[in-house]
């Protein structure tokens, strides 16, 4: 399933550039010609700046080798998140991004904004309930990652995975007996998706976007749920997206 871009973004909508020159010798260098995501790194407990994060080829390789996730917290509101993600969708890049939305309500909301329709017009058969593409970003939910991976329109490599989880709660949906998500381990759906992509030799960076400050979030549970050794923290109010 794929969709035409909305009128509101069509003039700026772009498709990924060709992967000509993408070689087996140094695929990461070809995949990240410039840092499309740039943000201030902070200490989790104090919010103090400790450096700058730029998603370059070397950084992407380090995140993979050291099993590091990046939490971009303090992103203000879901509307503000959407503005920044759309900026990423509009940025010409060698490979697409996968944006994973934490709930069906969020998916329908963002779909309605991108396509200029009322959420009440989105029925069960709409691609908003599955996956769709706007510009250089695929949008989907955790439960639809497997379907996306099997789509003939989807193929690797991808530049990164961004989990948009406003309240940073998906790590708690482990499918435990007696819980709301019984038999549905949501983090494992993403872990399996990344594992499948790693079979091509490239495990894409895993990033999270959340509204509250990092120090107020249960990050240890997220590390465990998403099979990460550690996390880096960043201030979403200082997030910069797109060409340098």
Position 180 scores a pLDDT of 53
24-28, 120-124, 130-134, 234-238: least confidently modelled range: 24-28
> Mean per-residue pLDDT for 6-13?
36
Please check the confidence at residue 119 and state whether its pLDDT lies above 70.
yes
Position 240 scores a pLDDT of 97
101-140 as b/e, with b when 16 or more CB fall inside 10 Å? bbbeebbbbbbbbbbeeeeeebeeebbbbbbbbbbbbbbb
**Which CATH number fits the domain 28-241, given the four candidates 3.90.1600, 3.40.50, 1.10.3210, 3.30.300?**
3.40.50
Q: Which residue has the higher pLDDT, 117 or 11?
A: 117
Position 16 scores a pLDDT of 42
Q: Which residue has the higher pLDDT, 241 or 175?
A: 241
Number of H helices, E strands in the chain: 8, 9
Position 155 scores a pLDDT of 87
> Mean per-residue pLDDT for 113-134?
92
Q: What is the dihedral of CA 222, 228, 230, 236, to 10 degrees?
A: -60
> Mean per-residue pLDDT for 13-32?
57
3 state SS for 54-71: ECCHHHHHHHHHCCEEEE
Mean pLDDT of the residues in the chain = 87
Q: pLDDT per residue over 155-199, tens digit each?
A: 889 999 999 999 999 998 866 555 554 457 899 999 999 999 886
| Percentage of the chain modeled with pLDDT above 70 | 84
Q: Are strands 160-164 and 97-101 parallel, antiparallel or unpaired?
A: parallel
Please check the confidence at residue 2 and state whether its pLDDT lies above 60.
no
Position 172 scores a pLDDT of 86
> Mean per-residue pLDDT for 23-38?
82
The structural domains of the chain, with segments of one domain joined by +, span: 28-241
Calculate the alpha carbon distances from 103 to 55, 98, 208 in Å.
26, 15, 14
Please check the confidence at residue 152 and state whether its pLDDT lies above 70.
yes
64-78, 119-133, 168-182, 220-234: least confidently modelled range: 168-182
Please check the confidence at residue 125 and state whether its pLDDT lies above 60.
yes
Position 22 scores a pLDDT of 45
Q: pLDDT per residue over 192-236, tens digit each?
A: 999 998 866 778 999 999 999 999 999 999 999 999 999 999 999
3-17, 18-32, 218-232: least confidently modelled range: 3-17
């Amino acid at each position: 399933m794929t969709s035409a871009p909305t009128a509101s973004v069509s003039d700026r909508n772009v498709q990924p550039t060709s992967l000509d020159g993408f070689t087996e010798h140094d695929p990461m260098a070809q995949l990240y010609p410039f840092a499309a995501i740039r943000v201030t790194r902070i200490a989790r407990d104090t919010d103090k700046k400790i450096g700058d994060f730029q998603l370059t080829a070397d950084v992407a390789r380090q995140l993979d080798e050291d099993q590091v996730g990046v939490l971009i917290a303090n992103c203000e509101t879901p509307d503000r998140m959407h503005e920044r993600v759309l900026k990423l969708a509009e940025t010409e890049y060698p490979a697409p991004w996968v944006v994973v939305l934490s709930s069906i309500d969020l998916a329908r909301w963002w779909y309605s904004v991108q396509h200029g329709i009322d959420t009440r017009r989105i029925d069960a058969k709409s691609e908003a309930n599955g996956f769709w593409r706007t510009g250089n970003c695929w949008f989907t939910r955790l439960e639809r990652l497997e379907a996306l991976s099997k789509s003939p329109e989807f193929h690797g490599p991808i530049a990164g995975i961004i989990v948009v989880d406003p309240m940073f709660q998906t790590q708690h949906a482990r499918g435990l007996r007696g819980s709301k998500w019984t038999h549905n381990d949501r983090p494992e759906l993403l872990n399996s998706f990344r594992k499948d992509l790693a079979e091509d030799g490239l495990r894409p960076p895993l990033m999270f976007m959340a509204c509250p400050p990092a120090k107020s979030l249960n990050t240890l549970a997220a590390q465990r749920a998403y099979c990460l050794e550690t996390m880096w923290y960043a201030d979403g109010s200082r997030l910069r997206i797109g060409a340098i």
